[in-house]
Structure 1
Amino acid sequence: MMKIPVTYMDSEGDIRLEWGEEYKVCSHFHQYGDPSSPCGRNLLSSLNYASQLGEPYIFVCRGGLVKIAVALLHGDTLVGGFLAGPIVMASLRESTVTKVLKEDSVSDADYPKLIMTMNKMSSFTPEEVSHLSVMLNNCVLSSVENAGEYFIRNERYRRQTKLNSEVRKYKMSQKAMSYPHELEKQVSQLVSSGDSQGAVDAASQLMDELYLLEAGDLEALKMKIYSLCNMLIRGLPDWDQSTIEADLSSLDTLAEEKDYDSMKRFACTFLSDLAVTYAESFYHGSSEIVKKTVKHMNKHFKEKMTLEDSANHFHVNKSYLSALFKQEMGRSFTEYLTLLRIREAKKLLKDTALNLTNIAYQCGFSDQSYFSKVFRKVEGLTPKEYRKQKRINS
């Protein structure tokens, strides 16, 4: 109806499907369909850029004609995309015809066909081209299950563009920017005090300031964030060795992050989780007996342990210890013991391939059935469901 050719190209640059070929000028050129040609590389590059944008990308091809690219994503991976065009913006000028002919050789036999095809091309105003791009994008979004990924990418691109603009302004101003020591100290204090949400808010601000300070150098930013996180991990009590080792292992994945947005998301999540660990690993009250009991539980929770055992260990009355523990910790002895065991179980489910029976025994549960029952009560899903969910997310 609108005489606009549409092409589907895979992620390697090979053409898989075409519609409206009779209106496609490109098909008359020798290099058409060759992914390694300048034209082919240009088209594939446009799809890659559209996938970064999370929205349609309108561009002028090497021949001076307008095209619209919309990426097709599977999960977070580019699998191909749709290219609408070439089309004429406003009117077909002689200079455009000359440029098209310069791009590639056309045989004498194909030359009349090329001119006829160019005369068939419809002209569109800039506003109409914009509407066409939205229409093509909506067609793709209505046909895929992961439409939300496009909106996430678009928001990520806009945030990155804003940050890049701030970096350029900072470079142009040539103003000296001091290291945000106070903000870094604030992040450390919030994590150490167990304030998870406060740590996330301060860490987000710290990341933005460090990004500007390093003028967008992601590797330099990684080193600073790694040092901060490593220092906070080392601040955990030495008897919580399994947590320290697991956190250090998890921190190594920071090196795999390729862009600022994912790096910032990783750092904020990591520091938030670390704040929770601090909150669960320390007792900040004044009771010496509760302090000793918490330390003992954190060290021996994988072993058989009861309130009576702990009371006998510290030579205090069982009922007294129970009441004092609940008063000081805000949860019962059994609830805190369960919290420690479930926290360890979650790490093993996420980071190992151990079966549920082995995980149950390693975390201090008497059997796998009881472990599964307690895990579901605490987390709202079974150990198997939790493991599956974490693998899908990663």
Structure 2
Amino acid sequence: MIKKLYLNSINLDSMGDITPDFVAAEFEKGTAYRRETLENHMSYEEETQLLLLVKNGDVEGVQQLLQHLGSLGVAVGSISESNLKQSRYLFLCGITMFTRAAIEGGLNEELAYDLSDAYIKCMDRLENQNQVLELSFISALDFAKRVRRMRVLRSMPIKKCCRYINNHLHNKITLSDLAAYSGCSESYLSTIFKKQMGIGLNEYILHEKLEAARKVLLYTELPVAAIAAQFHFCTHSNFSLHFRRIYGTTPANYRNSTHSLIWKELNARDKGIT
């Protein structure tokens, strides 16, 4: 552990190294090993190229580059004496960079962080380094594909509109609010939204609220009436009516169906039940 006393003793004005001895020892050991085995890290250029491909939503480019790097057997350095731990550490590095690249590419940051969290939780359950590596590759492709899907939205007002809706699903969303946030008139926003998205604004908002509510139904035990209120449906009955129209069953029946086994499995895993 680095003590406060050590931090206070660092001379930042000196031209000498400030690397702690225990870090310097690992640094020299790793450098010697790399030279002996002739293994080099993924180059900065290759790393930058991969992140740029994710940022641009170039799914095919990401896939081709990952396959190319895999065929070359590019090394990634040694950061743990355990192969599984090493793969997990590298996964965390990768998912962090993919998340930021996707956000820079236009993906909603809350969605990006939620997706990152989901991948990390799934990675933590894996016990095989090859599975962890494969999941890392999948995550890069997933982020790139989501960026591509976002870029189908050609105009900035529509992007801003969708971002606002996603961030305010628990509130009442009005056309006037969306128009003000998007910087255009209500009539213009309604017209271009339908043209570019293929669905009316009100129907899109309803679909987004219902999809979010569906996930709450699956992964929590929150009462249906509370979920309806959470997503600002005027009544429990109104929520059930719309839910049944989209999903073909009532919220209560949906929760009690085989889909609810997902929640039961996750709950059992969290409690350590096998």
Common topology (TM > 0.5) = yes
User: Does residue 229 of structure 1 match 2:95?
Assistant: yes
* Larger relative contact order (CA 8 Å, sep ≥ 6): 2
Q: 1:187 to 1:382 in 2, by over 3 A?
A: farther
Q: What is the percentage of aligned positions where both structures have the same residue?
A: 20
Paired residue for 1:362? Answer: 230
Contact 1:283–1:329 under 8 Å retained in 2: no
Q: Is the deviation greater in 258-267 or in 212-221?
A: 212-221
Paired residue for 1:254? Answer: 123
Select which of 163, 166, 175 maps to 1:295: 163
2-side partners of 1:295 and 1:212: how far apart? 39
Select which of 54, 61, 65 maps to 1:191: 54
Contact 1:283–1:291 under 8 Å retained in 2: no
User: Does residue 179 of structure 1 match 2:42?
Assistant: yes
Paired residue for 2:6? Answer: none
Say which structure is richer in helix: 2
2-side partners of 1:208 and 1:198: how far apart? 15
TM-score scaled by length of structure 2: 0.56
User: Does residue 388 of structure 1 match 2:261?
Assistant: yes
Select which of 78, 85, 93 maps to 1:219: 85
The gaps in structure 1 that reach 5 residues or longer are: 1-170
TM-score scaled by length of structure 1: 0.42
* RMSD of aligned Cα (Å): 4.5
Q: 1:308 to 1:213 in 2, by over 3 A?
A: closer
1-side partners of 2:120 and 2:65: how far apart? 19
Select which of 243, 247, 251 maps to 1:376: 247
Displacement, 1:182?
4.4
Paired residue for 1:310? Answer: 178
Per-residue Cα deviation, 1:3-57 (whole angstroms, up to 9, x for no partner): xxxxxxxxxxxxxxxxxxxxxxxxxxxxxxxxxxxxxxxxxxxxxxxxxxxxxxx
2-side partners of 1:280 and 1:374: how far apart? 26
> Match of 2:240, as an amino acid?
S
Q: 1:315 to 1:174 in 2, by over 3 A?
A: closer
Counterpart of 1:327 in 2: which secondary structure?
helix
Say which structure is richer in strand: 1
Q: 1:391 to 1:263 in 2, by over 3 A?
A: farther
Counterpart of 1:293 in 2: which secondary structure?
helix
The gaps in structure 2 that reach 5 residues or longer are: 1-33, 270-274
Q: 1:199 to 1:357 in 2, by over 3 A?
A: farther
Q: 1:357 to 1:211 in 2, by over 3 A?
A: farther
Number of equivalenced pairs: 219
Q: 1:233 to 1:266 in 2, by over 3 A?
A: same
Structure showing greater Rg: 1
Displacement, 1:196?
5.4
Contact 2:54–2:143 under 8 Å retained in 1: yes
Give the 5 Å matches for 1:1-394: 174-194=37-57, 199=62, 202-203=65-66, 212-214=75-77, 217-234=83-100, 236=103, 240-241=109-110, 244-245=113-114, 247-248=116-117, 250-275=119-144, 277-278=146-147, 285=154, 287-307=155-175, 309-311=177-179, 316-329=184-197, 331-334=199-202, 336-338=204-206, 340-342=208-210, 344-345=212-213, 347-349=215-217, 351-366=219-234, 367=236, 368-370=239-241, 372-373=243-244, 376=247, 382=254, 384-388=257-261
> Match of 1:372, as an amino acid?
F
1-side partners of 2:72 and 2:123: how far apart? 19
